[in-house]
Structure 1
Amino acid sequence: MQIRYFAWLRERVGAAAEEVDPGEAATAAELIEVLRARDPRYAAAFEDISAVRVAIDQEMAALETPIRGAREIAFFPPVTGG
């Protein structure tokens, strides 16, 4: 599964994208827990998941959304504009 990171998440993780085996993770939130356990960089990036948004196969989704069969998961901070 392709994982993409944007903005400060990319900076903290140290990569824009990577291939990840989601293991037993069934939702985006569970995938975050898998990532957090990998390395302190991921733990820092996902320290406050209330500040993280997710897109599954380029569609906005809730963290509780199932990820089975997804090809791409993108994590990014909330977007603001004016």
Structure 2
Amino acid sequence: MNITVRYFASIREAMGSGSEALDTAAATVGALRDELMARGPAAAQALAHGKAVRMALNQDMCSADAPLKAGDEVAFFPPVTGG
């Protein structure tokens, strides 16, 4: 299925792009994260399960078990702090 993936802040830097169209077989946002981590060391480090990475599905915060469907937009970003 085709989806759009967006990356923000330090994750964007590690992935080398702000967004991409992706053909994936991942059934959930967590499975997509695992698929992206398998791309290489930079992606694995940026999206590591031990890191605080926020995820959004169609612009709504979600958990790793959120189901994916064709046409979805998934975003990965680090936690944001204000000051």
**What TM-score, normalized to structure 2?**
0.84
2:13 corresponding residue in structure 1? 11
Q: Once superposed, what is the RMSD of the aligned Cα atoms? A: 1.6
Could you list the runs of 5+ residues in structure 1 that have no partner in the other structure? none
Task: Measure the CA separation in 2 of the matches of 1:59 and 1:71.
Answer: 11
Give the Å deviation of 1:70. 4.6
Cα shift readout 1:17-57 (whole Å, capped 9, x = no counterpart): 0111121x111110011111123221121123541111111
Contact 1:57/1:70 (CA < 8 Å) preserved in 2?
no
Change (3 A) 1:49 1:28: farther
**What TM-score, normalized to structure 1?**
0.85
Contact 1:37/1:43 (CA < 8 Å) preserved in 2?
yes
Could you list the runs of 5+ residues in structure 2 that have no partner in the other structure? none
Task: Measure the CA separation in 1 of the matches of 2:81 and 2:30.
Answer: 22
Task: Measure the CA separation in 2 of the matches of 1:30 and 1:78.
Answer: 20
Contact 1:3/1:74 (CA < 8 Å) preserved in 2?
yes
